[in-house]
Amino acid sequence: MSTSAREQYGQRTMSFLPFIPASAVLRWRRQRPTTPGRPFRPRLGLALVALLLVLAAGCPTARRGGDAGPNGTTGQRTVIRFWNGFTGPDGKTMEALVRQFQKENPDVAVEMQIIPWGTYYDKVTLALAYGGAPDLFVVHAARLPEFASFDTLQPLDSLYASSEPPVEADDFAPVPWKASFYQGRKLALPLDVHPIGLYYNTRLFEEAGIVGPDGKAAPPKTWEQFLEAAQKITKDTDGDGRTDQWGFVFTFQRTNYLTFLYQFGGSLVTPDGKRSAMDSPESLAAAQRMRDLIYKYKVAPKPEGVDAWLAFRQGKVGMALEGIYMLASLEEQKGLPYAGAPAPQFGPKRAVWGGSHLLCQPKGIAPRQSEAAWRLMRYLSDHSLTWAAGGQVPTRVSIRQSPAFARLTVPYQFGTQVDWVQYEPLTPRSNSLFQFADPAVEAVLLDLDTPENAMRDASRRINQLLSRP
Amino acid sequence: MKENPLTPLPPSRGGNGVPATDSATGRREAALVPASGTPFPRREGGRGVRGPWNDNLTGWLFALPHLILFTVFLLVPVVYGFYISLHRWHILTKIQPFVGFANYQAALADDIFWLALRNTLYFVVLVVPLGNLVSLLLALGLANVKRFSTIYKVSYYLPVVISIAVVAVLWRWLYNTQVGLLNLYLKAAVDGLRGLGLPLAGFEPIPWLANPSWVMPSIALMSIWWGAGGNMVLYLAGLGAIPDDYYEAARIDGANGWQQFRAITWPLLRPTVLFCLVISVLGSFQIFGQSYVLFAPGSGPARSGLTLALYMYLQGFNQYEIGYGAAIAYLLFAIVLVLTAVQFRLFSKREDYTPR
- Same-domain pairing of B152 and B41: no
pLDDT at A438 over 80: yes
pLDDT for the residue B196: 86
Residue B230 lies in a domain: yes
Give the total number of structural domains in chain B. 2
Name the minimum distance, in Å, from the CA of B224 to any CA of chain A: 22
Helix, strand, coil shares of chain A, percent, nearest 5, are 45, 15, 35
Which of A104-108, A245-249, A364-368, A387-391 bottoms out in mean pLDDT, i.e. has the lowest?
A387-391
Look at residues B218, B269, B234 and name the one whose alpha carbon lies nearest to residue B135: B234
- Report if residue B138 sits inside a domain: yes
Q: Are residues B46 and B121 part of one domain?
A: no
pLDDT-above-90 percentage for chain A: 52
Same-domain status, B142 and B210? yes
- pLDDT bin (cut points 50, 70, 90) of residue A296 is very high
Q: What is the pLDDT of residue A74?
A: 53
The sign of the torsion formed by the CA atoms of B242, B247, B249, B253 equals positive
From chain A, the residues in CB contact with B210 under 8 A are 303-306, 446
Split at pLDDT 50, 70, 90, the class of A67 is very low
- The DSSP annotation for A309-377 comes to HHHHHTT-EEEEEEEGGGHHHHHTSTT--EEEEPPPB-SSS--EEEE-EEEE-BTT--HHHHHHHHHHH
Residue B319 and residue B187 in one domain: yes
What is the least distance, in Å, from the CA of B318 to any CA of chain A?
7
Same domain, B46 and B129: no
Nearest CA to A59 out of A132, A119, A118, A110 is that of A132
Q: Mean pLDDT over all residues of chain A?
A: 83
Long-range contacts, B77-80 (Cβ 8 Å, 24+)? B80/A19
Q: Contact, B207 vs B180, CB < 8 A?
A: no
* Residue A352: how many other CB atoms lie within 10 Å: 24
- B26 lies in the same domain as B112: no
- The helix (run of H) or strand (run of E) holding residue B132 is helix B111-143
Regarding predicted confidence, which is higher, A46 or B244?
A: B244
| Beta carbons within 10 angstroms of residue B270's beta carbon | 16
> For residues A339 and B343, which has the higher predicted lDDT (pLDDT)?
A339
What CATH number does the domain containing B212 carry?
Answer: 1.10.3720.10
Pick the residue from chain B with its C-alpha nearest to A3: B94
Residues B36, B115, single domain; the answer is no
Cβ atoms of residues A431 and A143 within 8 Å = yes
Residue A59 pLDDT = 46
Q: Which of A19, A48, A435 is the mutation pick for testing B, counting most B CBs within 10 A?
A: A435
Asked if residue B352 belongs to a domain, the reply is: no
Strand partners, A217: A211
Which residues are paired to A197 by β-bridges? A322
Better-scored residue on pLDDT, A326 or B3: A326
Tell me the shortest Cα–Cα distance from B74 to chain A, in angstroms.
12
Q: Distance between CA B287 and CA B294 in Å, rounded?
A: 12
Domains recognised in chain A with CATH numbers:
3-58 (no CATH), 73-191+356-420 (3.40.190.10), 195-354+429-467 (3.40.190.10)
Give Cα B287 to chain centroid, integer Å.
11
Would you state the pLDDT for residue B208?
87
* Mean pLDDT score, A254-269: 94
Q: Is residue B343 part of a domain?
A: yes
Structural contact between residues A356 and A148, judged by C-beta atoms closer than 8 angstroms: no
Which residues from chain B sit within 8 angstroms of residue A438, using beta carbons?
Answer: 297-298
B173 and B290 both lie in a single domain: yes
B34 & B163 share domain: no
The set of residues, in sequence order, having a beta carbon less than 8 Å from that of A188 and lying 6+ positions away, is A139, A144, A153, A156, A180, A358, A359, A360
Q: Has residue B296 been placed in a domain? A: yes
CB contact under 8 Å between B17 and A36, yes or no, is: yes
The per-type count for chain B, helices as H runs and strands as E runs, is: 15, 0
Flag whether pLDDT at A119 surpasses 90: no
Q: What is the CA radius of gyration of chain A?
A: 26
Q: Kindly report, residue by residue over B150-208, the tens digit of the pLDDT.
A: 898 899 999 999 999 999 999 988 998 877 899 889 988 988 888 888 877 777 888 88
Cis peptide preceding A165, ω within 30 of 0: yes
B21 pLDDT above the threshold of 60: no
CB pair distance less than 8 Å for A435 and B298: yes
Q: Which helix (H) or strand (E) holds A189?
A: strand A189-190
Kindly tell me the burial class for residue B327, based on how many C-beta atoms sit within 10 Å of its own C-beta (0-12, 13-18, 19 or more). Answer: buried
Torsion of CA B59, B60, B62, B68, to 10 degrees: 160
Residues 6+ apart with CB under 8 A from A81: A64, A65, A110, A111, A112, A113, A134, A135, A136
Q: What distance in Å separates the CA atoms of residue A84 and residue A91, rounded to the nearest whole number?
A: 9
The count of CB pairs under 8 A between chains A and B is 91
Whether B238 is in a domain gets the answer yes
Query: What type of residue sits at position B110?
Result: D
Q: What tens digit of pLDDT does each residue of B279-305 get?
A: 899 899 999 999 999 887 778 888 999
Q: Where are the alpha helices (DSSP H) in B210-321?
A: 212-240, 244-252, 257-260, 266-285, 289-294, 308-317
Do B157 and B26 share a structural domain?
no
Decide if B78 is inside a domain. no
Strand, coil or helix: A263: helix
**Cα(A379)–Cα(A373) distance, rounded to whole angstroms?**
10
pLDDT value at B43 more than 60: no
Distance CA B237, CA B223 (A): 22
Q: Which of A2, A6, A16, A19 is most worth mutating to test chain B (most B CB atoms within 10 A of its CB)?
A: A19
Q: Which one of B34, B50, B66 terminates a domain?
A: B50
Query: Residue A30 has what pLDDT?
Result: 40
Whether B103 is in a domain gets the answer no
Please check whether residues B198 and B327 belong to one and the same domain: yes
Which residues 361-400 of A have a C-beta within 8 angstroms of B? none
Collect all residues with Cβ–Cβ distance below 8 Å to B24 and sequence separation of at least 6: B51, B52, B53
- Work out the average pLDDT over B107-136: 94
Cβ partners under 8 Å of residue A46, min gap 6? A29
pLDDT tens digits, B62-72? 999 999 999 99
Distance from C-alpha of A333 to C-alpha of B253, rounded to nearest angstrom:
71
Contacts of residue B43, Cβ cutoff 8 Å, sequence gap at least 6: B50
Q: What residues of B are in the A interface, CB distance below 8 Å?
A: 16-19, 22, 57, 60-61, 64-65, 68, 72, 76, 80, 88, 90-94, 96, 175-180, 205, 207-212, 297-298, 301-303, 314, 317-320
| Alpha-carbon separation of residue B5 from A261, B20, B52, B54 (angstroms) | 94, 14, 19, 19
Q: Which residues of B touch A150 (CB under 8 A)?
A: 90, 92-93
Cα A244 to Cα A148, A234, A329, A336, B14: the distances in Å are 48, 8, 22, 17, 92
Residues in chain B with CB shorter than 8 Å from the CB of A304 are: 177, 207, 210-211
The reported pLDDT for the residue numbered A162 is: 86
Q: Of B22, B318, B320, which is closest to A37 when you measure between CB atoms?
A: B22
Q: Which of B68, B115, B255, B184 is nearest to A435 (CA)?
A: B115
Mean pLDDT of chain B: 82
CB A142 within 8 A of CB A355: yes
Give residue B45's domain range: 1-50
Name the minimum distance, in Å, from the CA of A388 to any CA of chain B.
Answer: 30
Closest residue, chain B, to A432 (C-alpha) = B319
Residues B121 and B36 in one domain: no
Q: Radius of gyration (Cα) for chain B, nearest Å?
A: 30
Residue with the bigger pLDDT between A408 and B105: it is: B105
Distance separating alpha carbons of residues A16 and B335, to the nearest angstrom: 29
The answer to whether residue A237 scores a pLDDT higher than 90 is: no
Task: Report how far residue B334's alpha carbon sits from residue A388's, in angstroms, rounded to the nearest whole number.
Answer: 53
Note every long-range contact of A203-208, with CB atoms under 8 Å and residues 24 or more positions apart, other chains counting: A203/A315, A203/A337, A204/A233, A204/A245, A204/A315, A204/A317, A204/A318, A205/A229, A205/A233, A205/A318, A208/A232, A208/A233, A208/A318
How long, in residues, is chain B? 356
Give the mean pLDDT of B254-272. Answer: 88
Strands A192-201 vs A338-341: parallel, antiparallel or unpaired: antiparallel
Under the banding of pLDDT at 50, 70 and 90, the label for residue B40 is low
